[in-house]
Amino acid sequence: MKNNKKRGYFTAAVLVCLIAFTSCKVTSQEPAKKDIVISKDLKWSDKMALTLMKRHPEAYMIDDSKAPKWDYVHGLVLHSIEELYKVNPDPRYPVYVKGYVDALVQNDGTIKTYELDKYNIDMVVSGRLLFNIYDKTKEEKYLKAMQLLRKQIAEQPRTKSGGFWHKNIYPNQMWLDGLYMGEPFYAQYTATFEEGKSLDDVAKQFEQIQLHATDPKTGLLYHGWDESKAMPWANKETGNSPNFWSRALGWYAMALVDALDYFPKEHPKQKELVKYLNDVSASLAKFQDKSGLWYQVTDKVGKKGNYLEASGSSMFAYAFAKGANKGYLPAKYKKLANKAFDGLTTKLIKVDADGGITLTQACQVAGLGGTPYRDGSYDYYVNEKKKDNDPKATGPFILAALELNR
């Protein structure tokens, strides 16, 4: 009887230990990102990256996603963290990026949640994350995933003049956003795997939007252009949407500086793209507020309801700084970029109790057409929701900080 009792006590003790060990194990496997310390002495680039990693322990959680999805905002932010790793080789950065890719890219190269037949050009940009991972691992699945996105580009519906439709559901329309979503990946792919044979086609996308969407008076580009002029938002003579949206212009400027990375100086289209960058930068500089920032509706400076917006301002700071660093733009644009970054850090950044940072006044989303219908009016843009630390602002903020060494 005594032996049975002893056995019972021993079994219970073992069970208690096992339960304790298991709970400890589970706890230790919970994302270590909670332990991230964000020192006030860090550069802004690291502060923002670590803030995002702390608040979104798995990279797919960026933008408050509940499950992994292939999406352009993840591509944007994680590309900025890849670039940050080149300057500060913190081993946590590539692990975070690869975690996102591996949650979505399957062994056969298919991508979870990605639907090629929607021909949504937004879905191409996250493919930029695959180049580096494939280069490091040589795993075939990453190459196949890139080839799948290249297939979308090959089949993407086009305007009669050769410009990519923004999505299958937006026929005959080019949006400024789409230049960033498609061209840097397209340029890198053709430079890496095709000896640059399609760089002329990359340039054609910029040529088309430049030709059709540029306002002769301000030099700014309208958010969207409908070749058919059939959309209610489209001007019946030009096909353009009615307003200038800073984030759309930011996508365009970033697309130029990033795509240019893959155009050799001797390429016949390189100078043309550099000219487009100079033209749009000169136009944007005229509308920079004394704070260093830009308004949500770019040219309506100080108009009632308009506000100084974080994503467009971060994008312009990045494009100006990179353009100057690469020699595409005059040196004065580096000063304008620093002025913009000063505006972001003094006017729009809040420092949280844990040392993390929050970038405020970011437009959450804006588009044209669709359901519910978006008419591209001034009131539409200034009344869209705002979101703190929206990824369309945080990614460019990191990129701008890197170019400015801040």
Whole-number pLDDT of residue 13: 44
Extended strands (E) in 249-314? 294-295, 308-309
Interval 273-306: pLDDT, tens: 999 999 999 999 999 999 999 999 999 999 999 9
- The model's confidence at residue 27, banded by pLDDT at 50, 70 and 90, is very low
Whole-number pLDDT of residue 225: 98
Looking up tokens 């219908």 gives 373
Instruction: Give yes or no for a contact between 167 and 157, defined as CB atoms under 8 angstroms apart.
Output: no
| Res. 47: pLDDT tops 70 | yes
Q: What rounded mean pLDDT belongs to the chain?
A: 93
Report the percentage of the chain scoring pLDDT > 90. 91
CA neighbor of 183 nearest in space, from 116, 235, 251, 246: 251
Rg, C-alpha atoms of the chain: 24
DSSP state of 163: P
| Res. 3: pLDDT tops 80 | no
| Catalytic site positions | 177
Whole-number pLDDT of residue 168: 98
